[in-house]
Amino acid sequence: MSHKIISEQDFDQLWEQTSKTLQTMAGHLTDTEARFLTMAAAIPASRGVILEIGSFKGRSTIALAKAAEKAGSAHTGLWAVDPFTSPTETCPDLEVPSSYPEFCDNLKRAGVTDQVEVFQGFSYDLAPTWKEKIRFLWIDGDHTYKGAKTDFDLFSPFLEDGAIIAFHDTLHSHDGPCRVFANDILLSPNFGECGFSGSIAWARYHKQPVTDETLLAKKRSLYKKLCKLVAITCLGQEISGLPKLQYRVLRLLIPHGNIKHQDWIKAVA
Ligand SMILES: C[S@@+](CC[C@H](N)C(=O)[O-])C[C@H]1O[C@@H](n2cnc3c(N)ncnc32)[C@H](O)[C@@H]1O
């Protein structure tokens, strides 16, 4: 893979501009998380397109589009998939029948409309015709276990060697993304570098099984910590009182702050 890697100074500038654009927009993404998406899209780990599952009003879509533009002409492809009708039990309540008009307005205002290929429908309706190799698979749609697992099963076969996969809300009470990340990623020999940023869990896919003992030890350690969270939130358990407090303490044991530019370069080099 040959392309010019964006410098730390240019990345900081890109993030400053992107965060200003996002400030006025509704959505479910913290600054730490939007910064992570900006880094993953601006500094590619492989060839291929970006696929976003779950766009809502376009907050993450805009961060990805602005960053992909900086990644060089071979890395600009970006797909956004959402029925825009908030159709599952884990989605935010919509005050209007569809988030699509606001999604379009937001993309237009951010100047990224032409950069995004939009599929207005469910991820599983796109899957049968999907052919593109993916460099960054961003899963933020249906957070039930069935929903997150379906998205992983349908689209992970399209990950390019070295690609990044990321799930939103792995450190929140929905058990779907957290369980899939623990079982299908941390326990898989084909994922290596990994971590958390905000409530995003991310990992790098490798066609050949990973044998580096440092990476395997890190995966084992994260798995042990994550399993304790899954045990509290699994099977649709409502958490309150003592379990909620326990959850918060256990979550603190998982490092999930901002990723430094140099650490990302090291992870995807
Ligand atoms: C948490 S929101 C996404 C937030 C968005 N990424 C942002 O940055 O604001 C979840 C979205 O996923 C969509 N959704 C739910 N199930 C889906 C599926 N199977 N495929 C695609 N989108 C889905 C919902 O319509 C909703 O807009």
Regarding beta strands 49-53 and 116-119, do their DSSP bridges make them parallel or antiparallel, or are they unpaired? Answer: unpaired
CB of 123 closer than 6 angstroms to any ligand 1 atom = yes
Burial of 150 by CB count in 10 Å (0-12 exposed, 13-18 middle, 19+ buried)?
buried
CB of 77 closer than 6 angstroms to any ligand 1 atom = no
Cβ-contact 151, 139 below 8 angstroms: yes
C-alpha to C-alpha distance for 265 and 260, rounded to whole angstroms: 9
What predicted TM-score, i.e. pTM, was given to this entire model? Answer: 0.96
Please state the separation of Cα 71 from the chain's center in Å.
Answer: 17
CA–centroid distance, residue 218 to ligand 1 (Å): 30
pLDDT for residue 96: 82
pLDDT for residue 3: 63
Question: pLDDT tens, 184-232?
Answer: 999 999 999 999 999 999 999 999 999 999 999 999 999 999 999 999 9
Complete domains list, the chain, with CATH: 8-268 (3.40.50.150)
Strand 200-205: give its sheet, edge to edge.
116-119, 78-81, 49-53, 134-139, 159-167, 200-205, 191-197
Question: pLDDT tens, 55-83?
Answer: 999 999 999 999 999 998 778 899 999 99
CA–centroid distance, residue 97 to ligand 1 (Å): 14
Q: What share of the chain is helix, strand, coil (3-state, %, to 5)?
A: 50, 15, 35
Burial of 2 by CB count in 10 Å (0-12 exposed, 13-18 middle, 19+ buried)?
exposed
CB of 29 closer than 6 angstroms to any ligand 1 atom = yes
pLDDT for residue 154: 98
Give the pLDDT means over successive 10-residue stretches in the chain (269 positions).
81 97 88 98 96 96 96 88 86 82 96 97 98 98 95 98 97 91 98 98 98 97 95 83 92 96 94
CB of 59 closer than 6 angstroms to any ligand 1 atom = yes
pLDDT for residue 27: 79
Burial track 114-139 (b if 16+ CB lie within 10 A, e otherwise): ebbebbbebbbebbeebeeebbbbbb
pLDDT for residue 55: 96
- Which residue has a Cα nearest atom 9 of ligand 1? 27
Beta strands in 64-211 (DSSP E): 78-81, 116-119, 134-139, 159-167, 191-197, 200-205
Q: Give the DSSP H/E element, type plus range, for residue 225.
A: helix 213-233
pLDDT for residue 7: 95
pLDDT for residue 29: 92
Cβ-contact 148, 139 below 8 angstroms: yes
